[in-house]
A and B are shown apart, each in its own frame.
Chain A
């Protein structure tokens, strides 16, 4: 009886702790999501929104090449950014964790994430100045005689990728660094004692153990990158539109909320699929 009463009290306490978070999630995620899903089934006729309860917007998305292309552009940019960021962040995190003396590691990390302290928009515009025809890179290369005519760097997909990579390398460096410093040095010593060379130690011991850090960082990069509107808008020069830009066009120019909701749902589905893929690979799901 006493045990049952204790259990009830524990349960109540647990619910007491969980309820605020649940209410928050319901109020600011579940309900807005249901509303958005419902609006995606409506239709825009002229300046009126009619609750048609059909999938016309979804069909239109797959039928209209310029809308579908938004998704492919987003995926291509996001995957490119994620891969390049991982390739650049891993050595950086490794150097900070393994080569920088411990007393300087904190300072090195701060230096690595320093660009985080500036505004995201300002950082994107700064890249525009660096990459412009009369920007720092082109002027330097022309001055050094490496090129005779300025390169087309700004207003391209490459510019968008550079802007993103600059941001996400910092994020990935943090997640990978956190993994590297948690790894006991004995694992590597044991592998070396058993005859593994430096590369084998890295490939068979270090890399698998730091994979969670890589995947967490890569997933965050994927999510933040695929949903970003600012960087492609500023650095891409409107020469192609990523899905968030297409969504903004529906809202800003057409007030077509049903189509914007449809595109947003599709974006969420893609992010969910990415999460499922990562969760399975990392065996993060509960069994």
Chain B
């Protein structure tokens, strides 16, 4: 008996030592894997290993990614961080000015970026360049419009924005939980251009927001919205677009999206280097990698959501099926019939957010 116990103890000790050794070896291997670390505050499409790993391998660096949704959330994270915590920042194209005013972004040498390869409509110099200095570059764009299951709804109904607050599809609508594009869409539905949207328009917009909430089943972030549409929980997604449906194009050919006759919202995400970064050169290399044709193709088809690459040369690295899912050839028409996000000042932004919470509480 005592021999048995002793053997058991010896075995346990051996297992414990082996486990400690293995854990130690793994920890050492991880340390040895990357000599440097880069911290990037990004949208979820950048968290795809297929996008990040080639950069990590090439530069022997570990890229730490934190994802967020909505500029307010991103700026809030930065405010709660210490200077130097972040090296790279992905931000809504229309909000680059806000970030520059806050002193968050560093100037990027214009000649370090492939600006001439970017689709002219999305260069967005008025957003990415401040006082003649380039602070960010558009990396990806797409549309916030209406995604739907074409086997369950009449696609013709989707051509009119008013469908999002009509009773016809009550209980079958999901709303993307991001106030800016959805308020912009409601504004377009009321005939208000995003550039003209002001505080005077908010009562009418609120009324339609509340009507939309009444007929919707849920208001959710990217993943839950996509899941709801993909699993048939809902048939329409307000605020959706190719970024929701393209990634599912092979598995769910029944999902489609449209820009209604009133127009759609064009989103464009920009990437820049943080002003307080302690590794500005490496951060710039990351930006350059993301803007390269290879990086752009990977970003466009990221596992979180797809979107058009800003760099036209990315097309060489995309398959025909991927380009078809992104509707590569239809972009000219889409660009004409879409508007950028509203750019509210602090007061209007607060009013919009209040309206959004009010809507959620309906």
Contact = CB atoms under 8 A, between A and B. Distances in A.
Interface of A is mostly: loop
Interface stretch (A29-37, A95-103, A208-216, A236-244): A236-244
Nearest to A251: B76
B358 A66 contact: yes
A252 B80 CA distance: 10
Given A241-B357, A253-B73, A134 B232 contact: yes
Contacts of B76: 251-255
A152 B358 contact: no
Contacts of B219: 237-239
B361 A70 contact: yes
Interface residues of A, number: 28
A155 B217 contact: yes
Interface string B35-78: 00000000000000000000000000000000000101101100
Contacts of B346: 45-47
A241 B73 contact: no
Contacts of B280: none
Contacts of B149: none
Contacts, number: 71
B199 interface: no
Interface residues of B, number: 27
Interface string B340-362: 00000011001001100110110
Contact of A133 (B233, B354, B357): B233
A132 B233 CA distance: 8
Given A64-B354, A252-B72, A254-B76, 16 more contacts: A46-B346, A47-B79, A47-B102, A66-B358, A70-B361, A132-B233, A133-B231, A155-B217, A237-B218, A237-B224, A238-B219, A240-B360, A241-B361, A251-B76, A253-B70, A253-B76
Interface of B: 70, 72-73, 75-76, 79-80, 102, 171, 177, 217-220, 224, 231-233, 346-347, 350, 353-354, 357-358, 360-361
Interface of A: 45-47, 64-67, 69-70, 73, 132-134, 152, 154-155, 237-241, 246, 249, 251-255
